[in-house]
Amino acid sequence: MSQKTAVVIATFSRRMRLQFEDGAEVEARIKGKKLKPVCGDRVVAVSIEDESDWLITEIVQRVNELTRPNMRGQTEVLAANVELLIVVAATSPQPDWFIVDRYLCAAESMHIRAAVVFNKTDVASKDEKIASALHDYARIGYPTLRCSAKANSNIDSIQAIVHGNTAIIVGQSGVGKSSIINRLLGGPEQRTAEVSNKTGEGKHTTVNSMMLTLPGGGVIIDSPGVRDYAPALQSATQVIQGFREIERAGHDCRFANCRHLREPGCAVKLAVEDGTISARRYESYRRLLALTERLDKKL
């Protein structure tokens, strides 16, 4: 029996694909019901005599987790040890900027970098809100770019952002996440399909998520089996810290515990009124704060 550490690079419910430091890949199952490894986890695994499968016995302590509520309203971990969050929106499906804001909020509470990518620029759009939303993100310091996976345009800018990092790509389904990854992999369109066929062959066909190594440097996690969702936030404090421009402006509020709603001497409200803070972002903040506080009351 030998024991090694590895990274989880694909999950299919309770079965996993692992990659060792030397690049070799094996399949593994998990010891016990309590252990719940996810993509990006570093794990300890042991080989089993007369079996090709390895056994995951331990998860190395996570640096961070990206979580989401599942169908039963419980918190589920989507990926671990992520260094960069790439949020994708597109001309279609119609952008839901509240979802983008919630992802950015999650990135702030994970203390990781985030970028906003607007895909399908090959499709003409009359939506004036798009330019304004992208401008909102750019001016508060998120790298923001437009691209077209279809036309293979500006994909190199995404590669430059991912370079040397473990990134996860998120956003509404259909925005083109897998297509962007295809381009980053440098191959023809069917590249992602090949990968998911290879890892999903035989007895396990639903890939929850997978981590792909990019020829241009870095790795990226795709979650093809995950439906539309926005991350769960635990507390009002997390929401306030999740909107970096609101957090920053809040230092000048009269009250240290100002929630930037109706308090006198609120610097955030002033900044919204004079346009320094985007009214749309502020609305997202209020919506998310209300959602979280409803949750707080239930606890």
Ligand X SMILES: Nc1nc2c(ncn2[C@@H]2O[C@H](COP(=O)(O)OP(=O)(O)O)[C@@H](O)[C@H]2O)c(=O)[nH]1
Q: Mask 125-154, x = binds ligand X (CB under 6 A)? A: -----------------------xxx----
Q: How far is the CB of 21 from Zn ion (least distance, A)?
A: 48
From the list Zn ion, ligand X, Mg ion, none, pick the one residue 268 interacts with, judged by a Cβ distance below 5 to 8 Å according to partner type: Zn ion
- DSSP-assigned states of every residue in 77-98: EEEES--EEEEEEESSSPP-HH
Q: What does DSSP say about strands 84-90 and 209-213: parallel, antiparallel, or unpaired?
A: unpaired
Residues constituting the chain: 299
Q: What does DSSP say about strands 144-146 and 113-119: parallel, antiparallel, or unpaired?
A: parallel
Q: How far is the CB of 148 from ligand X (least distance, A)?
A: 4
- DSSP-assigned states of every residue in 239-255: HHHHSHHHHHHGGGSSS
Q: Residue type for 182, please? A: N
The residue among 119 and 159 lying less far from Mg ion, judged by its C-beta, is: 119
Please state the φ and ψ torsions of residue 41, each to the nearest 5 degrees: -65, 145
Among 24, 48, 123, 261, binds ligand X (CB under 6 A): 123
Among 69, 143, 216, 224, binds Mg ion (CB under 5 A): 224
- Binding to Mg ion in span 178-207, by CB under 5 A: 178
Q: Mask 149-188, x = binds ligand X (CB under 6 A)? A: xx----------------------xxxxxxx---------
Q: Is 269 in the site for ligand X (CB under 6 A)?
A: no
Those residues whose C-beta lies under 8 Å from the C-beta of residue 38, and which sit 6 or more positions away, are: 8, 11, 65, 77, 78, 79, 80, 209
> Residue 186 gets which letter from DSSP?
T
Footprint of ligand X on this chain (CB under 6 A)?
119-120, 122-123, 148-150, 173-179
Footprint of Mg ion on this chain (CB under 5 A)?
177-178, 224
